[in-house]
Amino acid sequence: MQREKSQKFALWRRQLGREKELWFWTLLFLVWWVFFFLIPLYGIVYAFFDYTPGRALTLDRFVGFKNFISFFQTRDAWMIIRNTLVISTLNMTVGFIAPIILALQLDELRQGLFKRATQTISYLPYFVSWVVVASIVTTLLNSDGVVNEVLMNLGLINKPIAFLTTGKYFYALITCVTIWKSLGWSTILYMSAIAGIDQSLYEAGAVDGISRWGMVRYITIPCIMPTIVLLFILNIGNFLNLGYEQNLLLGQSTTQEYWEIIDTYVYRYGIQMGRYSFSIAIGLMKSVIGLILVFVSNAIAKKYTEYSIM
Amino acid sequence: MNKKRLLSSLLAVSLLASLTACGASGDSAGSSGVTDASEVPEVALTDEVNQYGWTVPEETIKITYYACDDDATDQAEEDERLAEVHQIMLDEFNMDITKQIYAQDSTERLNMMLAANNYPDVIVGLTDTMANAFIEQDRAVELTPYLDKYGQDIYATYGDYINLLREEDGSLYKLSSAAGSTTDAMGRDFSIRWDWLQETGLDVPNSFESYYEAIKAIVANHPTTETGEKVYGITAFSQEGAEFYETPLLYMGFYNTATGIYKLNDDGTITHWVDTEEGREVAHYINKFWQDGLIDPDFQTKDYDTSVAFMSNERVAGNIGTWWHNYTGGYQVWMSTSDDYNPEKRMQELTWEETDATPNLISDNYIRTTRVIITDKAEHPEEIVTYWNWQQSPLAIAFNSMGPQGEDMAWVIDEDGNAKIDDRYWYGDPDNSQFLWGDFESKCGSWNYVMANPGYTPVNRKDNPAEGWASPIAAVNMWDLIPNYDEMDKDKLSVDQMMGVYNEETSKTYLTDTTVWNTAFASDSEEATIQQDVKDKLLTDWCLCIMAETDEECDALYDQMVKDLHDIGLDKLVAAQQKALQDNEAKLDGSYWENSAESTEEAAE
């Protein structure tokens, strides 16, 4: 028994020696992960206390689930949840499919220079801040902006449309802008997956006489399906994490009924008002829901496809 | 199994450690413990009084303070800006003051300071809510004994207003970081393009109705700009349309407070503006502009910069807001971009009395809304209070607002020991269009180590507030020197100074003391949430209301707005404001503590 243990240990040491460079670089990231992700997790205890900066977390300040419950008791809780779900769903459907389509289209381009230029240009919006994006969108969609001017000149409308101040346009507006901003960047993983497809499959397809569309349908999409499933499962973990900047910047008073989401509410009523426990509680709630969604979607993917991440 | 146990133990230990860690920063040792002036240590002073009236101490006084400023940029830049003044403070005052700034939301920074139990001797410019957080945690020093011994001029600055800063038990932990009455300055107003008004041949507007008619006539004369862009009557300046109800209501004598705009009834009760007939009248008035296409349809999307550009590009015929909009969006740009600027092209400010009530166009809050505290980290609060006491003097105000005196500086101390402003400063540098300030700010510094200066001219000081200042200064405060045009040489006035003269012809100052309307709610209170809810919903419903296509729709949307706000809890907010008003009035005359004492006695019986 003892000999078996020492043999295992010797084996482990030999393996460690062989992989020392790998372990060195991995260790750096592990340390980073421990300090910046694992240790801060202790902060979730604040969600269960009536926390005031500077005061100790004593048992008499323990409030259980009060901070969680208070969110659902807010005036517009269901409106906020509705908006979050609608915008998230649009992002997870239209916003998820769009980069796949663009990646497939880019793959069909045969002119190398044009393809690379298009790819590079499509990445640019990702690096533009939301403040600048909001400014561009506002300029384009104002009553005397380019969009209204074009529609008027084409005779499609006889007076400018208030795109930015009419609530019913907000879901479409925020989805389009979010997709525009992230579209190019999101294609990178799909492009690399497509690049990794065995070319002999396409050659075999050509011999079998399938069309371009057939190659996409029967070769490219099935080959990148593991990537699609992987990204879908990872993205769904962030289903409720929409961020607040874009909604605050593009939302107006008259569209608040459509732009107020969990993130904007937590920012305005939690962080800005110094209600830290409340903010942490909602953050924790979103994370737990995200984790559940990841497990559920992974289980579904495992059952109905042969791909999963766990 | 063992692994699971180990994992559970680790988790439990980490949670315990986190609780301990949270507790480690816990409650502090408390304040100085000094309860009476006789217990306050002596500040060792020399016999030397410097040219600014400061009695030089024997030992160097060291103070570190955090200046809350959400617009702060860079500590290194600030240090560089203050370098010269810092050296003078060392050499002539024997004081070593360190000013800390952070390019961060001040509330966030203060909460971090509290959590880390790491903050400086003094904190300047914090809100009541944050000041109360320090006070409740016993991290602020009770000032009364120190003021009793070293703060007689501070008491003189405040008069009875100091009672409004006292706690329920009469103790005093915070002062205003800029107390005092405002001066004869401009405020809220309706304004109109003066040259375009002359073209219409109409009289200068003196009522809501005549203003509307004038704007309508101007837009009819000028439907588009020279570049073909549509001209509107008015737009919003960064408030998303809130100024469209705020300014007209103040013309009708309503009071502007932190919790909203109220009508003060004859019996002393207050009514939120949405529940008044005047409120509905204003909604219909603004809606008339909308129905006639006189409001910029994109007014909600305007931020300050785009509004400034909108006005300077001549896209509006007028403005309902404040004088500052006209200055920054109007003639400041036109003056600096035109070689032959004609002052007739200006936004003329207009005020009038719309109803029998006196307008409240400038809310004069004597104690303002930001505070200064001495924290429990300060080893010598008595030295800090001594410095604050000196800051009340005219020479200190001059030093702190305009830098050191000198022949080539913005001001000098004349033979009588009074501050005298240099003509170059007073009349402005012809090559510099900066408002009243010229290039002196970069040369001499401004806002140098300001902690508890009078922000506005103290009116209840024993001496004449203008005393110690050489003509033509009618009054002075930390922000502006208020011109006394009657005593100034008109030929020497710069164009922007002349704007003040022009505006005086059609506008009048309506200044109202709103100090007793002060109120602040704890951030986790129900009232704070209601206040935010009301603010949000009011703006949404108001914008929908004024954008109605018909009078009937406007009426219906107004009714809906009133219903929505009451559903949210407007009545609770009004009740809280009413109570704050009554409490403040009682504090001001001192009866608050008499009543409290009586209540305590009754309870004891």
Provide the mean pLDDT of chain B.
Answer: 85
Tell me the pLDDT band of B447, cut-offs 50, 70 and 90: low
Q: What is the mean pLDDT of residues B292-315?
A: 94
Q: What percent of chain B has pLDDT over 90?
A: 58
Q: Which of residues 165-184 of A touch B (CB under 8 A)?
A: 165
- DSSP string over B71-84: T---HHHHHHHHHH
What pLDDT, on the 0 to 100 scale, is given for residue B332? 84
Q: Domain extents for chain B? A: 28-181+368-394, 188-360+516-586
Provide the mean pLDDT of chain A.
Answer: 92
Higher pLDDT, B429 or A143: A143
CA distance B63 to chain A (A): 23
Report yes or no: A252 at the B interface, CB cutoff 8 Å: yes
What pLDDT, on the 0 to 100 scale, is given for residue B35? 78
Q: What is the mean pLDDT of residues A161-170?
A: 95
Residue B187, pLDDT > 90, answer no
- With tokens 């503006």, the residue in question is B273
pLDDT tens by residue, B508-559: 888 888 999 999 888 888 999 999 999 999 999 999 999 999 999 999 999 9
CA distance B131 to chain A (A): 13
CATH class of B28-181+368-394: alpha beta
- DSSP string over chain A: -HHHHHHHHHHHHHHHHHTHHHHHHHHHHHHHHIIIIIGGGGGGGGGGB---TTS---GGGB-TTHHHHHHHTSTTHHHHHHHHHHHHHHHHHHHHHHHHHHHHHHHH---HHHHHHHHHHHHGGGGS-HHHHHHHHHHHHSTTSHHHHHHHHTTS-SS---TTT-GGGHHHHHHHHHHHHHHHHHHHHHHHHHHTS-HHHHHHHHHHT--HHHHIIIIIHHHHHHHHHHHHHHHHTTTT---SHHHHHH--GGGHHHH--HHHHIIIIIITTT-HHHHHHHHHHHHHHHHHHHHHHHHHHHHHSS----
Q: Which of B215, B182, B184 is nearest to B197 (CA)?
A: B215
What does each C-alpha distance from B221 to B205, B215, B232, B295, B317 come to in angstroms?
17, 10, 11, 16, 10
Residue B28, pLDDT > 50, answer no
Token reading at A76: 């517009």
Q: Which fold has domain A75-304?
A: MetI-like fold (1.10.3720)
Contact assessment for residue B273 and residue B244, using Cβ atoms and an 8 Å cutoff:
no
Q: Which of residues 18-47 of A touch B (CB under 8 A)?
A: 41-43, 45-46
Contact assessment for residue B538 and residue B565, using Cβ atoms and an 8 Å cutoff:
yes
Report yes or no: A50 at the B interface, CB cutoff 8 Å: yes
Residue B458, pLDDT > 70, answer no
Contacts for B210 with CB less than 8 Å, ≥ 6 apart? B202, B203
pLDDT tens by residue, B549-603: 999 999 999 999 999 999 999 999 999 999 999 999 999 998 998 866 666 666 6
CA distance B240 to chain A (A): 7
Smallest Cβ distance to A275: which of B139, B300, B523?
Answer: B523
Rounded to the nearest 10 degrees, how much is the dihedral formed by the CA atoms of B463, B468, B472, B477?
A: -80
| Secondary structure, 3-state, B92-126 | HHCEEEEEECCCCCHHHHHHHHHHHCCCCCEEEEE
Q: Which range (B61-75, B484-498, B527-541) has the least confidence?
A: B484-498
Token reading at B325: 């909009």
Pairing of the two strands B270-272 and B260-264: antiparallel
pLDDT tens by residue, A44-61: 999 999 988 888 888 878
Strand partners, B263: B271
DSSP for residue B371:
E
CA distance B447 to chain A (A): 27
d(C-alpha A32, C-alpha A38), whole Å: 9
What pLDDT, on the 0 to 100 scale, is given for residue B29? 38
Residues of B in contact with A57 (CB under 8 A): 19, 22-23
Tell me the pLDDT band of B399, cut-offs 50, 70 and 90: confident
Instruction: State which residue of chain A sits closest to B25, comparing Cα positions.
Output: A54
Residue A30, pLDDT > 90, answer yes
Residues of A in contact with B115 (CB under 8 A): 53-54
What pLDDT, on the 0 to 100 scale, is given for residue A289? 94
d(C-alpha B414, C-alpha B403), whole Å: 16
Pairing of the two strands B95-100 and B122-127: unpaired
Token reading at B12: 């439990």
Instruction: State which residue of chain A sits closest to B529, comparing Cα positions.
Output: A269
Q: Which of A60, A46, A279, A275 is nearest to B19 (CA)?
A: A46
Tell me the pLDDT band of B480, cut-offs 50, 70 and 90: low
Q: Which range (A150-154, B282-286, B454-458, B529-533) has the least confidence?
A: B454-458
d(C-alpha B213, C-alpha B218), whole Å: 9
Pairing of the two strands B481-483 and B347-350: unpaired
Mark yes or no for CB contact B117/A54 under 8 Å.
Answer: yes
d(C-alpha B193, C-alpha B215), whole Å: 9
d(C-alpha B385, C-alpha B383), whole Å: 5
Tell me the pLDDT band of B179, cut-offs 50, 70 and 90: confident
**How many Cβ atoms from other residues are within 10 Å of residue B190's Cβ?**
26
What phi, psi does B56 have (nearest 5°)? -70, 130
Smallest Cβ distance to B568: which of A75, A269, A276?
Answer: A75
Contacts for A170 with CB less than 8 Å, ≥ 6 apart? A250, A251, A255, A258, A259
Contact assessment for residue B365 and residue B515, using Cβ atoms and an 8 Å cutoff:
yes
Please report the ipTM that was assigned to this predicted complex. 0.84
Exposed, middle or buried, B407 (CB in 10 Å: 0-12/13-18/19+)? exposed
Q: At what angle do helices B570-589 and B591-604 cross, to 10 degrees?
A: 100
Q: What is the mean pLDDT of residues B497-512?
A: 85
- DSSP string over B301-342: G--HHHHHHHHHTT-BSEEEEEHHHHIIIIIHHHHHH-TT--
- Please give the distance of CA A193 from its chain centroid, rounded to a whole number: 19
d(C-alpha A11, C-alpha A178), whole Å: 51
Q: Which range (A269-278, B9-18, B193-202, B496-505) has the least confidence?
A: B9-18
d(C-alpha B482, C-alpha B186), whole Å: 10
For B194-304, list the strands marked E by DSSP. 255-257, 260-264, 270-272
Number of inter-chain CB pairs under 8 A, A vs B: 105
d(C-alpha A109, C-alpha B200), whole Å: 63
Pairing of the two strands B61-67 and B347-350: unpaired
Q: Which range (A110-114, B12-16, B445-449) has the least confidence?
A: B12-16
pLDDT tens by residue, A84-105: 999 999 999 999 999 999 999 9
Residues of B in contact with A167 (CB under 8 A): none
Pairing of the two strands B511-513 and B362-364: parallel
d(C-alpha B282, C-alpha B285), whole Å: 5
Instruction: State which residue of chain B sits closest to A161, comparing Cα positions.
Output: B297
Q: Which of B49, B95, B159 is nearest to B388 (CA)?
A: B95
Mark yes or no for CB contact A55/B27 under 8 Å.
Answer: yes
Q: Which range (A268-272, B232-236, B318-322, B576-580) has the least confidence?
A: A268-272
Rounded to the nearest 10 degrees, how much is the dihedral formed by the CA atoms of B487, B493, B497, B502?
A: 80
Residues of B in contact with A165 (CB under 8 A): 297-298, 300-301, 543
d(C-alpha B522, C-alpha B516), whole Å: 18
Report yes or no: A276 at the B interface, CB cutoff 8 Å: yes
Mutation choice for B interface testing from A153, A170, A254, A284 by most B CBs within 10 A: A254
Token reading at A169: 């346009």
User: B188-360+516-586: which CATH number, 3.20.20.80, 3.40.50.1820, 1.20.140.10, 3.40.190.10?
Assistant: 3.40.190.10
